[in-house]
Structure 1
Amino acid sequence: MGEIVPFQDLNLSPVPAVGNGNGNGNTSASGGATTSTPNFLKVPKIEPKLEPLDESPIEAQPLQEPDDDYFQDPAPLNFYSDPQNTSLPQSAVVSTEQDNVYSEYHRISELFLAAFAKRLEQQQHQQYGDEVTALDPNAGAIVPVDTENQVSPILVPRPQRKYVKRSSELVRVTDLQIEDKRYFREMVRSTRLLFDSFRVFAVAEEQKRLSAVGPAFRKPRGDLLAASVMRDRGLWINRDKRIVGPIPGIEIGDVFFFRMELCVLGLHGIPQAGIDYLPMSQSSNGQPIATSIIVSGGYEDDEDAGDEITYTGHGGQDKFGKHCVHQKLEGGNLAMERSMYYGIEVRVIRGFKYEGSISSKIYVYDGLYKIHDCWFDVGKSGFGVYKFKLSRIEGQKEMGSAILKFAGSLRAKPLSVRPTGYIHLDISNRKELVPVMVFNDIDNFGDPLHHDYLPKALFPPHLCNTGSSGTGCDCVSGCVDGCFCAMKNGGDFAYDQHGFLVRGKPLIFECGPFCKCPPSCRNRVSQRGLRNRMEVFRSRQTGWGVRSLDLIHAGSFVCEYAGVVLTREQAEIFAMSGDTLIYPSRFSSRWAEWGDLSRIYPDYVPPTYPALPPLDFAMDVSRMRNVACYMSHSTAPNVMVQFVLYDHNNLMFPHLMIFATENIPPLREISLDYGVADEVTGKLAICN
């Protein structure tokens, strides 16, 4: 097992002077000399580098410490006693008008807090000296805040909870073996799966509620709700120790759509500030230490060249992001300077806009950087700013942000970016909406070219004949809650308004040929076909593999696993000839993990309707197949199989639809859990 070792004792190091432009002088924000002794440093007035909390930000309380509570915690959603009741209690919500009232209340309160904070700080320092380490956020208010009776702007009030703050102990995780890496990766994977599935579920329920009361004035923030509830249940990870360096289980290139997910995983512990650091009030020697930063272009003086970064410190901006005062060497700025002196590396997460993202922005972890220089300079706006020179530590994997840009170039001009290696630009021959390319730069093997492409599974006509008439919904403009197809699914649709799978089920009924709803109906997600540009590639580890040129969202549909469906009798004959057969009954039931909220609510009951009979059929992919058949096997997959019916009503012959269980970055291999091996041969039923 890997070791968690205490970080270097900073008390054993001499107290240095604050760096100047050359990293070794004594310079203050005003250009004069300043003392280097920590006892003479004032307690930092926290001015975090605020950045937009993804799309549609909501009113929120500012941080009192860089790792304290940021957002308001909604009440727990205890609505799982009855498995059929999946809606939010009406008593647990407040109107949009009331939301606006509380938002305005918080805004006005913050104006009073800001007005009295500086005066309060001066009074406390005059009275108590340097022993003061934090301000009482309510001491400067005209009326004390009643936290017991304060109503949450999202859900019903609840008793105030006391949360354990992040540890002040700095540690490193070292000597990780292969088993350790697998363990931590699975821990991160399961935490992210819970966050994403609960986020999608919470958004779907909120949209259902808002549609019932009228037009919505703001988008539901499922990320804030999911993070709050998970923190309520103690499901945030990597907070018992403050880790310096890489976070176990998080790989370079991992992509995140929400800032709150970074907090849940412990990759970056502050929801809005760009510098995450151990504050001086918690440090053993009274000096702050930076552990991670987010580079997102929030400051006009930032310069990002990939391996080299000129990072602008925090503070000095107004609410519109314009510089209005000089920055100060305190808080995160001082922490960055101290990390430079002690030679402590920082994690770098890049945030930038990405077309097609559900939050309009993405964050990608790019590895570890060293801080080499710190100086005070005049910024483009004419105000003084602190700048930090960072360089990427050598020997790490390729940056995820660089891979994202490279994938974008491949989507536009694949042959210009890769002149050699492509043996086919579309093996589907336009049977899919997007091309499926084949890339092989290892050998001359071209097996994918020898098979007919089958975009959808081919079922026996005599078993799956829908007849000349059937029953469907009457939703002309799209399915609505309570329609015929919704009732077939137990009263709830399987997908939200964005097409994300809400919860995995034994079987999903989508609208079929006898429904009057259009192809854009929310209940026709998987039958629309492939949407992400795929690439079948030759791999030295897995033979053939599949990767996407697009970023795939967790919970989104990927493709169908297609082949020629055989009855049991037909399968026995084909097996005698040695043909490759896939047995759907052997696929692992990973669908049960998506939307499983038992870790949050002990009384959660997973969906059991409808009860499927044993799937007694096989699928021949020896001659006709699609891109899914080249997916490699993994016991920790990033996609799963979900059974779906839409073009017939035979429960024993569903479609095998593949959905993503995590955010899959471009050019990362897509893996599937093929489940149980054959009893006789001991091999997986996999054609790859």
Structure 2
Amino acid sequence: MAPENSSEENNVYSEFYRISELFRTAFSQQKNNDAEFVDPDSQAIVPVPENQLSAAVAPPKRKYQQRSSELVRVMDLGVEDQRYFRDVVRKTRMIYDSLRVFAMAEDEKRRALGLTRRARGDLKASAVLRDRGMWLNRDKRIVGSIPGVYIGDLFFFRMELCVVGLHGQPQAGIDYVPASHSSNKEPIATSIIVSGGYEDDEDAGDVIIYTGHGGQDKHSRQCVHQKLEGGNLALERSMHYGIEVRVIRGFKYEGSASGKVYVYDGLYKIIDSWFDVGKSGFGVYKYKIIRMADQPAMGSAILRFAQNLRTNPLSVRPVGYVSLDISMKKENVPVLLYNDIDSNHDPMYYEYIVTTVFPPYAYHGGSSNGCDCVSLCMDDCACAMKNGGEFAYDQNGLLVRGKPLVFECGTGCRCPPSCRNRVSQKGVRNRFEVFRSRETGWGVRSLDLIQAGSFICEYAGIVLTREQSQIFTMNGDSLVYPNRFAERWSEWGDLSQIFTDYVRPSYPSIPPLDFAMDVSRMRNVACYMSHSSSPNVLVQFVLYDHNSVIFPHLMLFAMENIPPLRELSLDYGVADEWTGKLRICN
């Protein structure tokens, strides 16, 4: 459902264009006298009723159908509209990621029984979403920005670009409306992928010399002349009518689930095109494409900047670093502290702890009843039985679905440290930076790309009983109440829109948490994460070093692909209504 109409919503489609007849007339004039025709806008973009705004982005569930040939440009979105569409995209991507991880986990079980060969989870997930009518932007072809998709958003799979409507071609680098399906009988390009697949490409960031498609052999070498048809002609027509194109860059990225990553870098204008002889001696079409002004920084540039920070932060930022490791080597990787705004060095004055400190009685008789697996654990091990007969993680350590509580193999188990059911207890694996922000105060961001479903870190503090917390509160100390965290774990792996018989996990169950965590003197990096009602991090309760269900660890997992240097956020459940920051004092 779309949000209720607002004053801004009336302007969402404020720029409408006359349709085919005028376009064909203008184009025929251009054929006769190209120098006399000047039209900065495309006559291919046609009016759409305002009440179809939500349907254009989130069409109702129905059987898969072909993409529309109707072109629209979405403009003047109000704040509430932006939040609405961002939420639509986030939820769709979460279902995609959850379904992909779930499909891979189910495939592992079948292969263990010798029933099937390895399948592509990304293809399965996209096919299921398509068949249920959950691909976005199918009713309209959007020119320019896609509502809810931000510059810098990262994607591990080409099919996910299709799911959100950013680029509708699973393989081709040019997405366009073909002449045979276009209402004006002319092809129009809407997006391109720049991945270095053509030897004649030149990519300088803001300026791209893009080579048209076609004419390559299986080794990606040009072997015949290109033709001015299909996507090549669509780019030329988009240039002539001043239509912007979305640019997605794809490149190899170590640690990516697919070996590659695709990043949306914003809108570009095609300003020139020509036919040239390429490096292989064959004719190719080339297009000079320039990035439009007044856009956020390119996601690909941020990726490169973060990579340089990981190797030598002081050479990239000679000023601003307060500490190169506030954990004092307690974490597996350093935790940086950065402040180029003021002289506040507050995080330096706390003792850093890696894991939560529980009362001694939480461990009484709780760690001895582990599994007896002598090698890698399978679904029939004792710890799997505690989790309802399945593990919470796939073979890559990704959370398959959120649960009220997850039992990991722990100190009482005989399985090796490499067991797939030992994920969160291994500690931090990404390089984090606590930074000072004018908007949110202290915040946390990663120098690494974090994949959806990945473990981030533990939210650590000193556990206090109800009586103890009352005394601390009287002294004005900072307390966090785990029972106030929003149950975002229920959203990860929620496939109720896919399976009609889906039931929200209720096992293993835990009683209401009746303790507080003191972070006034001892804390870790998680305590600096900001509050958000649309967070990218969830809290999953986990046990591994004891079996006292009233004292679980607060483990944090990524709800979406989190690009480097994007702030991490939690839904604390209770936030200050004036500042939006967590109110950790009672």
After TM superposition, the score normalised by the length of structure 1 is 0.77
CA deviations on 1:431-477 (whole Å, 9 max, x unpaired) are 0000000000000000000000011000000233346x712112222
- Counterpart among 194, 200, 206 of residue 95 in structure 2: 194
Aligned-partner Cα distance in 1 for 2:102–2:31: 49
| Farther off after superposition, 501-510 or 481-490 | 481-490
Shift in Å at residue 686 of structure 1? 3.4
Which residue identity does 1:174 align to in structure 2?
A: M
Aligned-partner Cα distance in 2 for 1:584–1:572: 15
Q: Is the 8 A contact 2:411 2:545 kept in 1?
A: yes
CA deviations on 1:469-497 (whole Å, 9 max, x unpaired) are 71211222221121111111100000000
Q: Is the 8 A contact 1:238 1:265 kept in 2?
A: yes
Within 5 A, what are the aligned runs for 1:303-318? Answer: 303-318=202-217
Which residue identity does 1:192 align to in structure 2?
A: R
- Counterpart among 6, 12, 35 of residue 3 in structure 1: 12
Shift in Å at residue 677 of structure 1? 5.3
Within 5 A, what are the aligned runs for 1:534-683? Answer: 534-676=432-574
Matched, 1:482 2:380: yes
SS at match of 1:14: helix
Count, aligned residues: 545
Match of 1:182 in 2: 83
Matched, 1:272 2:171: yes
Shift in Å at residue 12 of structure 1? 4.9
Aligned-partner Cα distance in 1 for 2:362–2:184: 75
Matched, 1:290 2:189: yes
Match of 2:74 in 1: 173
Within 5 A, what are the aligned runs for 1:7-46? Answer: 7=17, 9=19, 10-15=23-28
Shift in Å at residue 346 of structure 1? 0.2
Which residue identity does 1:473 align to in structure 2?
A: C
Shift in Å at residue 13 of structure 1? 2.2
Aligned-partner Cα distance in 2 for 1:231–1:162: 8
Q: Is the 8 A contact 1:18 1:337 kept in 2?
A: no
Within 5 A, what are the aligned runs for 1:42-53? Answer: none
Matched, 1:396 2:405: no
| Farther off after superposition, 317-326 or 365-374 | 317-326
Shift in Å at residue 247 of structure 1? 0.3
Shift in Å at residue 285 of structure 1? 2.3
Within 5 A, what are the aligned runs for 1:347-358? Answer: 347-358=246-257
Aligned-partner Cα distance in 2 for 1:16–1:548: 54
Match of 1:240 in 2: 139
CA deviations on 1:44-79 (whole Å, 9 max, x unpaired) are xxxxxxxxxxxxxxxxxxxxxxxxxxxxxxxxxxxx
Which residue identity does 1:13 align to in structure 2?
A: A
**Pair 1:268–1:18, CA change in 2 (3 A):** farther
Q: Is the 8 A contact 1:545 1:670 kept in 2?
A: yes
Aligned-partner Cα distance in 2 for 1:284–1:652: 63
Shift in Å at residue 8 of structure 1? 5.3
Within 5 A, what are the aligned runs for 1:153-164? Answer: 163-164=64-65
Match of 1:382 in 2: 281
Aligned-partner Cα distance in 1 for 2:25–2:356: 68
CA deviations on 1:490-549 (whole Å, 9 max, x unpaired) are 000000000000000000000010101111211010000000000000001110000000
- Counterpart among 88, 96, 120 of residue 221 in structure 1: 120
Q: Is the 8 A contact 1:582 1:620 kept in 2?
A: yes
Name which one, 1 or 2, has greater alpha-carbon Rg. 1
Aligned-partner Cα distance in 1 for 2:16–2:175: 19
Aligned-partner Cα distance in 2 for 1:399–1:341: 25
Aligned-partner Cα distance in 1 for 2:455–2:320: 28
Aligned-partner Cα distance in 2 for 1:186–1:255: 16
CA deviations on 1:17-44 (whole Å, 9 max, x unpaired) are 689xxx979xxxxxxxxxxxxxxxxxxx
Kindly report structure 1 stretches of 4+ aligned residues shifted beyond 4 Å. 16-19
Matched, 1:334 2:233: yes
Q: Is the 8 A contact 1:439 1:535 kept in 2?
A: yes
Segments of structure 1 that go 5 or more residues without pairing to the other structure are: 26-160
Match of 1:499 in 2: 397
Aligned-partner Cα distance in 2 for 1:330–1:165: 21
Match of 2:48 in 1: none
Match of 1:85 in 2: none
Aligned-partner Cα distance in 1 for 2:167–2:317: 35
Segments of structure 2 that go 5 or more residues without pairing to the other structure are: 1-8, 37-61
Aligned-partner Cα distance in 2 for 1:642–1:363: 28
